A = this chain, B = another copy of it.
Amino acid sequence: MANKEDMRRQVDSSRFTQQARVLRVLAHQSRLMIVDRLSRGECSVGDLHELVGGDLSTVSKHLALLRAHGVVEDRRERTTVYYRLLTPCVCNLFTCVTQVLKERGR
Per-position binary interface string of chain A over residues 42-72, scored 1 when its CB falls under 8 Å from any chain B CB and 0 otherwise: 0000000000000000000000000001110
* In the complex, A33 has a CB within 8 A of chain B: yes
| A94 proximity list for chain B (CB < 8 A) | 19
Contact of A7 with B by CB under 8 A = no
By the criterion CB–CB under 8 Å, are B20 and A29 in contact? yes
CA separation between A29 and B93, bound complex, in Å? Answer: 18
Number of interface residues of A (CB under 8 A): 37
The closest CB in chain B to the CB of A97 belongs to B19
The reply to whether A87 and B104 form a contact with Cβ atoms under 8 Å apart is yes
Shortest Cβ distance from A105 into B: residue: B70
Contact of A99 among B24, B32, B89 (CB under 8 A): B89
Q: Which of B16, B27, B28, B87 meets A100, CB within 8 Å? A: B87
